[in-house]
Amino acid sequence: MTTLDERSATSVSSAGAATGEGGQELRSRTDISQKALMREAGAVLRMSESAAAALADVAGDVGEDQSMIINMGPQHPSTHGVLRLMLELQGETVLRCKPVIGYLHTGMEKTGESLTYMQGGTNVTRMDYLSPLNNELVFSMATEKLLGIEGDIPERAHWMRMLLSELNRMSSHLLFMATNGMDLGAVSMMLYGWREREEVLRFFQKVTGLRMNHNFIRPGGLAADLPAGWRDDVLHLLDMLPDRLAEYEVLMTGQPIWRERLQGVGVITQSEAIALAATGPILRSTGVAWDLRKDLPYLKYREVEFDVVVGAHGDAYDRYAIRLQEIRESMRIVRQILDRMPSGDYRIQNKKVTPPPRGRIDESMEALIHHFKIFTEGFKVPEGEVYVAIESPRGEIGCYIASDGSSVPYRMHVRAPSFVNVQCLPHMMRGGLVADAVAVISSIDPVLGEVDR
Amino acid sequence: MIESLGQRVVFVAKSDYLPTITRLYGEGFTMCVDLTAVDYLLHERRTVPAEVAPQRFEVVVNLLSIANRERVRVRLQVADAETVPSLFDVHPSTEAMEREVFDMFGIVFDGHPDLTRILMPEDWDGHPLRKDYSQGRIPVQFKGAAS
């Protein structure tokens, strides 16, 4: 009994300190120097003097007693998971903001060091759970580059990967439409967005067996061929979506309330976006036509026609409009893929990385041994290190693998677009209204599984 | 400047680290897309150019030039308990990335405005991505949970 009492006594006394995140939290204005404040405020960003002075106007002249620090999240429904923002408010104006992350950290990069290259896909696919196929793709491409087989991947595998990647972009952006609508009070949009995304996921389920976390794109190709009738399913999607997207336009784009709520909110300039390494729709909303599919092409993106959608104002409305239009561009790419999908192998016929076909296992002992070895030990990857990046719906997703020549990565790092993009929040929120904070978070479209990994 | 699997890689000495990044910034590499580290404790005999003395840690910086559409990777050898200059003043995007490397590897960045843990809880012991931090051998730390 005594031990129990002691334990509960210590846990109560330390509870106050233990629930805080200490130095990770937003510090009060009196605790930090003016220089640190300016640095935090973004004076170090390469912005014009007048812009920096304007920033100082917001934050500089406020005494400690005129502002207050409040928490938004980590359980706030509009923070897309467990993002916690500490906001310093003066009335309704946001002076400073600091994202506190890590609530969903599960050590996936550490886990990746104990999974073979064959198993690694199951790990990375869970990072950005809204575009799992892009995660698998970048991991597979990095592994293939280390193996030196990226030139031998069959044509059909490239086109299948592109098909899945583009459909995934559509499903991810459709979910953005839903959550963005929900965050801003357009509840019917939430239902519409989820409904359309479900149609895409139904296709994924038919192809991969799972709605999410597919582990379908693997080093060397894909896990299986497309099922019979896939073409009709894709055509069904392509026929259904344009009308639905037109509905979105009526519901949101044309609405004065929707425009009022988003235009001029969460503005970020071109130089800020580049300095903060923002990628994807955030960078494109500032007018930089940067899309890895176009600028550093991978797979067969060189051979398909599509436009890179850019904005001009860098605000939340541009980011919404870009994503809506990117769904259409993805559909355009998917149509071309349908026309050009070649026949042939869906994975490389390299005995080193590809398990033998199921039928062979029953008749050949070597095939059985080979199958067993590849699924228990995995395949060895030559020593080296490589960084491969592709365009995920949220921006540049990169995979850095250092190999020591064994069958597990020595180090596997994923450059998560959301992790970097969340850094833009303090700059987008400065001087805005607290009510707009929700719109700004939503326009970043962060996936916390990827932020925290 | 060497090639690694078709990608440009630059090895720098610590004194050259910040000047090289600044020079590359001037050459158009205006975006620092990624900064991470590797703990080579269990793989010391890795392949590095002859003039580079391998150390336990390596900080890896991936730079991107939007104008020229090219990437370059900067690799810096860091010994145990050695500090690294922060890139924050050249590339503000490294704010969270350097915090992550500090959190996961314990590498200290000089001049970083707010070097605190970012993913792990504030009172966590150790740095999880170090190779001597084994999986499954450290008891789970619960914070102030009623037991």
Please report the DSSP string for A64-124 in residue order.
GGG-EEEEE-SS-GGGTTT-EEEEEEETTEEEEEEEE--TT---HHHHHTTS-TTTHHHHH
pLDDT, residue A45, reads 59
pLDDT in tens, B41-93: 888 778 777 788 888 899 999 999 999 899 999 999 999 888 999 988 888 88
pLDDT at A393 over 80: yes
* Complex ipTM > 0.90: no
**Facing residue for B32 by CB, picked from A36, A45, A277:** A277
| Count of structural domains within chain A | 1
Residue type, A447: V
A7: confidence class by pLDDT, cuts 50, 70, 90: very low
Does A44 contact B92 at a Cβ distance shorter than 8 Å?
yes
Average pLDDT over residues A416-444: 88
pLDDT tens-digit profile of A77-112?
666 778 888 888 888 888 888 888 888 888 899 989
Q: How far apart are CA A20 and CA B117, in angstroms?
A: 13
Window 106-145 of B: residues touching A by CB (8 A cutoff) are: 113-114, 116-123, 128-129, 135, 143-145
Confidence (pLDDT) at A6: 41
The verdict on residue B120 lying in a domain is no
Asked if B28 has any chain A CB less than 8 Å from its own CB, the reply is: no
Residue B70: CATH number of its domain: 3.30.460.80
- The mean pLDDT of chain A is 85
Residue at A5 is within a domain: no
C-alpha angle with apex A166: A396 to A315, nearest 5 degrees? 50
- The model's pTM is 0.88
Q: Are A130 and A271 in contact (CB under 8 A)?
A: no
Q: What confidence tens digit (pLDDT) does each residue in A15-28 have?
A: 344 456 777 777 77
Quote the CA–CA distance of B51 and A4 in Å, as a whole number.
60
B6 has a pLDDT exceeding 50: yes
- Look at residue A442 and tell me if it is in a domain: no
In a domain, A249, yes or no: yes
Does residue B116 sit within a domain?
A: no
Contact residues, B window 66-95, toward A, CB-based 8 Å cutoff:
66, 69, 71, 73, 88-89, 91-93, 95
Per-chain mean pLDDT for chain B:
86
Task: Calculate how close chain B gets to A342, using CA atoms only, in Å.
Answer: 28
- Are A251 and A189 in contact by the 8 Å Cβ rule? The answer is yes
Report the residue of B74, B76, B119 to disrupt the A interface, i.e. the one with the largest count of A CBs within 10 Å.
B119
Q: What is the mean pLDDT of residues A53-66?
A: 60
Give the integer Cα–Cα distance in Å for B127 and A279: 29
Q: How many domains does chain B have?
A: 1
Token pair 């192809």 in the structure block, residue: A207
User: Which domain does A140 fall in, by range?
Assistant: 125-378
Evaluate whether A120 touches A143 at the Cβ level (below 8 Å): yes
Is the pLDDT higher at A25 or at A198? Answer: A198
Q: Do A277 and B128 touch (CB under 8 A)?
A: no
Other Cβ atoms within 10 Å of B145 Cβ, number: 9
Residue A364 belongs to domain with CATH number: 1.10.645.10
Is there a domain that residue A413 lies in? no
Angstrom distance (rounded) from CA A294 to CA A203 = 26
- Position A349 in a domain: yes
Q: Which two tokens stand for residue A277?
A: 């390494």
**Domain residues for B63?**
2-45+54-110
Q: What pLDDT, in 10s, does the model give residues A228-268?
A: 999 999 999 999 999 999 999 888 888 898 888 898 888 88
pLDDT digits over A285-328, tens only? 999 999 999 999 998 899 999 999 999 998 999 999 999 999 99
Q: What type of residue is B104?
A: M
**B131 assigned to some structural domain:** no
